[in-house]
Chain A
């Protein structure tokens, strides 16, 4: 019974983790059709910002929830201005350029901080369940991920900004003729996406530690989730996370984490074989 609860917890945790690491990417990809290959490094920078701010004496919660998102949002703003803005509409070029950026950031962080793991200890202690225990911080992660996803959904569908953003995303020319400054909407979207990625990295820092190459551990899963989710911005990636998360969690539990990740990719490839535009094409009609 206890082990069953633990397993359920692992499944929910895995879904939440996938959702957390993909949300920033999903916002940028869903809105702008831009694949940000430096996504993993945005996560990594969020983690570093947290750890360094914390070591400098800033309160852990403050450095996670405020410092890291703002820092990565700034990086995102610079990236948007220098690279992404110049390449709108050139999907592949943007992807290659952000890939270059990804390597550049890994190299830069390695040069500055060295190739070692830095970390902060996870707050909040443990909650015992029978013979096992789960970290309260993990529960906090699940909660904040749910909060983030729900507020993104609400922001998109119930606010004026969300309406404008969806208009710019669905038909930018039409939106432009209606007086919407699409460039500004895109810039804002990219910055928001970067901030969310930074926040994800910050939240992960206490449980995983930070090192320059950590982005690679998340980026494959994040991409796969977003792509197999398809066109619908939030519901798409959320449903993909719900399908992929349990598979990864269960196989990681019964086999090894590597097999879990490999089967996640395999499943995603199969999903794309069945629904080439992602699972959300089931209810959006293949947009």
Chain B
């Protein structure tokens, strides 16, 4: 019961913020918070696939980046942002299905999954970096190499491409999408399929002996997380107005992983809060040019992994043993060699 209330409270808070934010915040903060929530949406996708299904995806940013690029290309070609967002999601899902087929049907272990997914994102990075030549274009949109795609149109009124949405409306849409993703993933996690996914995380062998096709569930979970990440990427590009190969680089990939570890593996609220917290922090640090972001990310990842492996949400709420059994175990599981 407590847990249901807790689950309901968070999206309600997000919706309230989406409604009230435009009245109290400056436009600059609204844009920033819109971008933060687009990233937080993608982080939720990783929190789901890693925390619930136990799939260690270090290259979650691939799907974020694909959504971002697909939006940028589609919106300029089609002129309508609603369809472009959907295309962003669809491309991320399509790629996740292809990649997931190879990964899960090969029955690769966690470590292999992590390595391969990270390599995939690095390859995308070097590919997009090599597209500076004007011959790389889709429709009228040049891919732009290092510079990426600039001047991407923002969100417009669904069905009416002439009317662009205001900063306030975009902010509300981003936060509502975050709330929506949260609700969707929470429902999925507590559904029958979600319970099976949790069972797969706890023991693949046992789940398989019970007759579940773990490869299928992993593929579905992977695709769901990709869809969420694609949505985040598309919204991010719409808010920022540009996309560059940096969406595929190491710091980007590490951000998502860091937020999920820091927020608490297996939790949803924690990663979202952590993503906002760390983004605020790094935008402050970045604005002051105090420290190099990679240095900070790296040190924070080491600190969390070594000292607070269960993450902030379970630690702060003291939930690690009560409500999320074996959460600690996901990260600190003793393993046989893969």
Interface residues of A (CB under 8 A from B): 33, 35, 83, 86-87, 89-93, 95-97, 99-108, 110-111, 213, 216-217, 219-220, 223-224, 227, 256, 258, 261-262, 265, 268-270, 272-273, 276-277
B282 at the interface (CB under 8 A from A): no
13 A-B Cβ contacts within 8 A?
A: A92-B111, A92-B331, A93-B309, A93-B332, A97-B305, A103-B250, A106-B295, A110-B292, A110-B294, A110-B295, A216-B125, A216-B249, A227-B112
- How far in angstroms is the closest Cβ of chain A from B98? 10
Which of B119, B130, B251, B333 touches A103 (beta carbons < 8 Å)?
A: B251
Rounded to whole angstroms, the CA-CA distance of A100 and B298 in the bound complex is: 4
Q: Which residues of A contact B338 (CB under 8 A)?
A: 33, 91, 277
B206 at the interface (CB under 8 A from A): no
Q: Which residues of B contact A262 (CB under 8 A)?
A: 123, 127
- How far in angstroms is the closest Cβ of chain B from A79? 10
Which of the 9-residue segments B10-18, B34-42, B102-110 touches chain A?
Answer: B102-110
Interface residues of B in 72-118 (CB under 8 A from A): 102-103, 105-108, 110-112, 114-116, 118
Rounded to whole angstroms, the CA-CA distance of A272 and B49 in the bound complex is: 22
Rounded to whole angstroms, the CA-CA distance of A262 and B107 in the bound complex is: 22
A227 contacts B295, C-beta separation under 8 Å: no
B300 at the interface (CB under 8 A from A): yes
Rounded to whole angstroms, the CA-CA distance of A93 and B125 in the bound complex is: 25
- How far in angstroms is the closest Cβ of chain A from B93? 19
A97 contacts B301, C-beta separation under 8 Å: yes
Residue of B nearest to A98 (CB): B302
- How far in angstroms is the closest Cβ of chain B from A56? 25
Give 10 closest A-B pairs by Cβ, nearest first. Answer: A107-B295, A104-B298, A100-B301, A103-B298, A107-B294, A100-B302, A220-B119, A107-B292, A33-B337, A220-B122
Identify 12 new A-B residue pairs, CB closer than 8 A, beyond the known A101-B302, A262-B127.
A33-B338, A83-B302, A92-B331, A96-B301, A96-B305, A99-B58, A99-B254, A103-B298, A107-B292, A107-B298, A258-B129, A265-B119
Which of A89, A91, A224 touches B119 (beta carbons < 8 Å)?
A: A224
Interface residues of B in 297-338 (CB under 8 A from A): 297-303, 305-306, 309, 331-335, 337-338
Interface residues on B, range: 35 or more
B200 at the interface (CB under 8 A from A): no
Interface residues of B (CB under 8 A from A): 56, 58, 102-103, 105-108, 110-112, 114-116, 118-120, 122-123, 125-127, 129-130, 249-251, 254, 257, 261, 291-303, 305-306, 309, 331-335, 337-338
B306 contacts A83, C-beta separation under 8 Å: yes
Tell me the dominant secondary structure on chain B's binding face.
helix
Rounded to whole angstroms, the CA-CA distance of A111 and B285 in the bound complex is: 14
B257 contacts A96, C-beta separation under 8 Å: yes
Rounded to whole angstroms, the CA-CA distance of A270 and B119 in the bound complex is: 14
Q: Which residues of A contact B114 (CB under 8 A)?
A: 35, 92, 95
Rounded to whole angstroms, the CA-CA distance of A91 and B331 in the bound complex is: 9
Q: Which residues of A contact B102 (CB under 8 A)?
A: 269-270, 272-273
Q: Which residues of B contact A90 (CB under 8 A)?
A: 331-335
B110 contacts A91, C-beta separation under 8 Å: yes
Rounded to whole angstroms, the CA-CA distance of A185 and B333 in the bound complex is: 23
B56 contacts A92, C-beta separation under 8 Å: yes
Residue of A nearest to B98 (CB): A269
Rounded to whole angstroms, the CA-CA distance of A55 and B51 in the bound complex is: 49
Q: Which residues of B contact A91 (CB under 8 A)?
A: 110-111, 335, 337-338
Most buried by B among A111, A216, A269: A269
A256 contacts B305, C-beta separation under 8 Å: no
Rounded to whole angstroms, the CA-CA distance of A103 and B293 in the bound complex is: 9
Q: Which residues of B contact A261 (CB under 8 A)?
A: 123, 126
CB-CB under 8 A for A92 and B110, given A107-B292, A265-B120: yes
Rounded to whole angstroms, the CA-CA distance of A95 and B306 in the bound complex is: 11
Rounded to whole angstroms, the CA-CA distance of A224 and B118 in the bound complex is: 10
Rounded to whole angstroms, the CA-CA distance of A33 and B115 in the bound complex is: 13
Rounded to whole angstroms, the CA-CA distance of A137 and B118 in the bound complex is: 32
- How far in angstroms is the closest Cβ of chain B from A37? 8
